[in-house]
Amino acid sequence: MISREQAVQIGRLSGVDQYIFVAPRGNIIAQDIQNPDKTAELVLSCGQNSLTLAKNKFQSLVFSKKNEPFFFIFPVGNCYLGVIKSKNVDAATLTDNIINFLKEI
Amino acid sequence: MIFFCEDCGEKNLLTPDQLISGKAVFRCSACGYMNAYAFETDRAPDVEPADVLINHLKSFPEIIGSFLFDCTAGVLTNYMPALLKTRDLEFLGKTLFQNFSIFYSLYPDTDEMALIISGKNMILKMITRDIALIIAAKTFPLSGPVQDQLTALVSMGMSHKEPSK
């Protein structure tokens, strides 16, 4: 499982506005996000549902408004990472940054 | 939605603004006859105009397939590859819809969700309060022309998008 020290580094990545790391039982490993408790439930439920559908091919779950992606959920081992994108960064850049970071830890 | 001319029998594709108070009002594209006749409403106005656009989505190379999913009635219209059985689509639709509803409860301005899987993407676009279009696509985000089609679909007088819990 990812450590808290590793998890907080997500907040320093380019394109990350807010983030939350959620453990398999729903406890928050690290966060810098509004409404952390409700967001943790949401990230865990959506992450687990997506894993049910996609199994080990699950890469991310992306929510958009007006054709603009803004919220991302990534599986990280058996944990889930929720990220709100900064407005000045495109979705592909953010995704690349997150995936590269996760590969390194 | 397709309507037949009462005079010559030609098929005419109508837009929602040509369906007035339960009547199809249009001039036949083939013979010019002015038609104005009543039709069954039921659920059809929600689904059938959408069906025309959904059918057109198949012509875009990035689209693998799509289906309309109603949170209570299940699969309404199916343009997915034949190897997927109805029960597979029911499970897929139900799980994606559930995901969207959970997220929507905290972020109510959300209108689209994409599940990114190796090699393909499952995109859910809310069409009405209870109906979502689910698209299997090779790419995400979708290209401009496909997004235009989806915008047209959503704007077909289907403005209330809050999903059922």
Is 0.80 topped by the overall pTM? no
For the residues A13-21, what does the mean pLDDT come to?
96
Model confidence pLDDT, tens digit, residues A67-84: 899 999 999 999 999 999
For the residues B99-105, what does the mean pLDDT come to?
95
pLDDT for the residue numbered A31: 97
ipTM of the complex: 0.94
- Confidence grade of residue B48 (pLDDT, cut at 50, 70, 90): low
**pLDDT tops 50 at residue A38:** yes
B31: which 2 tokens?
């013979």
B115/A64 CB distance under 8 A: no
| Residue B160 identity | H
B118/A35 CB distance under 8 A: no
A59/B118 CB distance under 8 A: yes
For the residues B9-20, what does the mean pLDDT come to?
76
Q: Which chain A positions have a beta carbon within 8 Å of B96's beta carbon?
A: 53
Q: Which B residues, 57 through 86, put their C-beta within 8 Å of a C-beta on chain A? A: none
Cα-flanking dihedrals φ and ψ of residue B96, to 5°?
Answer: -65, -40
Model confidence pLDDT, tens digit, residues B139-162: 999 998 888 888 877 776 444 344
Mutation pick from A41, A43, A49, A96 vs chain B, by most beta carbons of B within 10 Å, is A49
Task: Establish if B139 touches chain A: CB-CB under 8 angstroms.
Answer: no
Return the half-sphere exposure (C-beta side, CA atoms, 13 A cut-off) of residue B71: 20
Give, in degrees to the nearest 5, the angle at Cα B152 between B149 and B158: 135
pLDDT for the residue numbered B41: 54
A84: which 2 tokens?
């709100």
Q: pLDDT averaged over chain B?
A: 83
Task: Establish if A51 touches chain B: CB-CB under 8 angstroms.
Answer: no
For the residues A39-57, what does the mean pLDDT come to?
96
Task: Establish if A4 touches chain B: CB-CB under 8 angstroms.
Answer: no
